[in-house]
Amino acid sequence: METKNLNTNQISTNQINIDKSTNDNRVVLSCIDGSSVSKAVCDYSSWIAKKVSAPLKLLHAIEHSHNPAVSDFTGAIGLGSQEDLLNELTELEQNRGRLLIKKGQLMLNGAKERVCMAGVEFPELCQRHGSLAETLIELEEDIRVLVMGIRGEAHEQEFMGIGTQLETVIRSLHRPILVVNTDFTEPENIMLAYDGSEACRKALGMVASSPLFKDITCHIVHVGDKGKDLLEEASAILIKADLDVISAQLSGSTEEVLAQYQTEKHIDLMIMGAFSHNRVRDFLLGSFTAKMLTTTQRPLLLLR
């Protein structure tokens, strides 16, 4: 990480998306599908919604099929039977659509029951047609923080890498995104990877101002040889906000030493900025953000 000078006056809590504002009607948006982490997505969403006193919205997006049952069979079947077969295929596609809607409604109802049991009052249910990324872009102005799994149902068996939906969402949205990759554990400590960049200063301000992190120990970690002053200044901001702070200066390959520190210190949640440069090019070439998503074993909160 490159060390940069930190001006504590640059930390503005007015720009934080997870804040103390009682007039903020934006929602914690929880993306539900049939993946194994959906229960944990519900649990983390419930935890955030209760801690910041925000409404919770459960979303299920029905993707459009890229391989419709109805195709052009002209010339492949006889004229006499073509119309009957196409009618049958059309009915099959319509039934498939109805089943997908019903499946999504059942998942949403199950998610609603789970978050209500966790203490969330009046969660909103939302089912939309179209890609998840397109849906989230449309809803972006109403999102306070987004919670989604690292891989969707379609990529459930892929134990390495991240889902294509998540990649697109991270590149497209400018909202905090909590990426869930394991069962829920209420965080008792968090880790902030810090290099003094604009995204990291935003993350620092969020941690200092948000009720989400009260009574939680914050490990602020810098990778590099010249981070002492940076850590001292950042730690002072968190201490002033009455947080319990542990700072650490590490050396080595950034993603490797951060993952190792996270494991050794039993960190429950990691926070970092995402795509501070050319986000499309960085992501396609294997950016630091993508590497951390595939390396970490605990949820990762990304800020843009």
Provide the pLDDT for residue 276: 47
Q: What is the rounded CA–CA span in Å between residue 158 and residue 151?
A: 8
Do residues 41 and 264 lie in contact, with contact meaning Cβ atoms separated by under 8 Å? no
DSSP state at residue 160: S
pLDDT of amino acid 272: 83
User: Of the candidates 203, 181, 189, which has an alpha carbon nearest to the alpha carbon of residue 16?
Assistant: 203
DSSP state at residue 22: T
Residue 167 confidence (pLDDT): 79
Nearest one of 269, 304, 283 to 177, comparing CA atoms? 304
Q: 246 pLDDT exceeds 90?
A: yes
Residue 81: is its pLDDT beyond 70?
no
φ, ψ dihedrals at 219, nearest 5°:
-90, 120
pLDDT tens column, 252-300 = 988 889 989 999 999 999 998 765 444 444 444 346 777 778 778 789 9
pLDDT of residue 219: 97
Model confidence at 170, pLDDT cuts 50, 70, 90, reads confident
The pLDDT score that the predictor gives to residue 116 is 97
Give phi and psi for 35, each to the nearest 5. Answer: -75, 160
Q: According to the model, what pLDDT value does residue 118 have?
A: 96
Higher pLDDT, residue 90 or 136: 136
Average pLDDT of the segment spanning 230-252: 94
* Listed range (116-130, 143-157, 210-224) with the worst mean pLDDT: 143-157
pLDDT at 142: 96
Task: Name 75's bridge partners.
Answer: none
Q: Which of 46-60, 67-81, 132-146, 214-228 has the weakest average pLDDT?
A: 67-81
Lowest mean pLDDT among 11-15, 37-41, 172-176: 11-15
pLDDT of residue 90: 72
Looking at the predicted structure, is the pLDDT value of residue 151 above 80? no
The confidence score (pLDDT) of residue 9 equals 42
Structure tokens of 218? 């914050």
Q: How far apart are CA 246 and CA 217, in angstroms?
A: 7
The mean predicted confidence, pLDDT, of the chain is 80
Confidence category of residue 64, pLDDT binned at 50, 70, 90: low
What number of other Cβ atoms are within 10 A of residue 186's Cβ?
11
Is the confidence at residue 3, as pLDDT, over 50? no
pLDDT at 23: 47
The structure's pTM equals: 0.80
Answer whether 190's CB lies under 8 Å from 205's CB: no
Q: Determine the average pLDDT of the residues in 50-65.
A: 89
